Structure 1
């Protein structure tokens, strides 16, 4: 059985187990949708009170919000195993069981658990994208559709990388550090707004240290046909999501180093 077929089996088993209690699954999905909907309401309240903020309209900010939300929801859906790796695998010693199987540990962690409730955030972000399109009277073209898909792919790779880094740290810290959540869940909130709203040092951090801006801000500018008011060259904007895949490659390197240092629980 190849890796893709195995993941399909994992996915089918996970969804079937959750659908044993369909009302619970649907309520969790709706709860996820409702909780994230509060975010866009707070953003709307801000723009309703002050109007455009530094030249950015509410419709344009909804574009940032929607694409980063879609990217994160996909990453969150496929990385549940990495998210709970420290507590559910390293601390308990269950990671030994994964290493004994004739499949890569990373593949097994991807298939560990697929949560239906994550679709709530995805649906909400997709609806916001449609609303943003209508608000701006934006006309999609084949080029902008491809660029949007490229942006989502880069953003998904970026957040998957953060979850893998979080899991890799557990090899040395026993538990995944909560501080990493400031980059994962905090990154979702930071990516919802244009980069120009932040201080210079924070813009530098989000561009060169943790390249969130490369998968959220710059490509959205290219989709909307806007030049960067901060001075980034136009040719760079559509290429920026590649940074997400670069970070993903580094995270797998950190993961392999962590696995090589793993010494089990000794029990």
Structure 2
């Protein structure tokens, strides 16, 4: 595939770069984000600044995270952006969002057109900072958004569904056609809003147990729970949690996974 040159910039495939250019879509995204003066706004993957500029027309300053140094140079030399952007040239996976929030003295409002190749690990990473996040608006592969919102008994329901629904209320906002980007991606996209719960519906005592449990179950999603979780629970123990051991990973609700995670957390730590 040939490199795509857009506005003088060669889109880097390794960074998963696809730049929004459709003005009606850009306007709709900014309206959905609804940035307001004084808020701690953070954009992940500012790119050409097509979302940055209309957001900055509503507020005085914001933080942008951009890994591509050529794009950082563009952003830092842009006459409208000068002195109004706090630019962090870094992989978003390495950014300390808690420190960003502390510097602003308030929770963060995060948005971005996320590269498809890092969207899922990046969201898992952001869950580590959920206590300092007010909300998130992300452009994602439509298939990923479908997985985020899916409930039990669906092919799309998986570990990402459980982990995201544990932390956030999820609202699909806007479907975006492939033609709204340059270069044109092979997949459709969608904008989604993630709003962290002020009070978790099904709190777990040790989140690492939920993470491990869902990984184990969904890595063997074709097996019954009796088989996939046999090293952790007996069929009797599952039955005590109102869980049928003949079901599969995709049949359990978020609440059921949280119950099992808490059961796991209650066990004494082995001294071996």
Note whether the superposition's TM-score is higher than 0.5: no
* TM-score, with structure 1 as normaliser: 0.25
* TM-score, with structure 2 as normaliser: 0.25
Rg: which structure is higher?
2
Higher RCO, Cα 8 Å, sep 6+: 1
Q: Which has the higher helix share?
A: 1
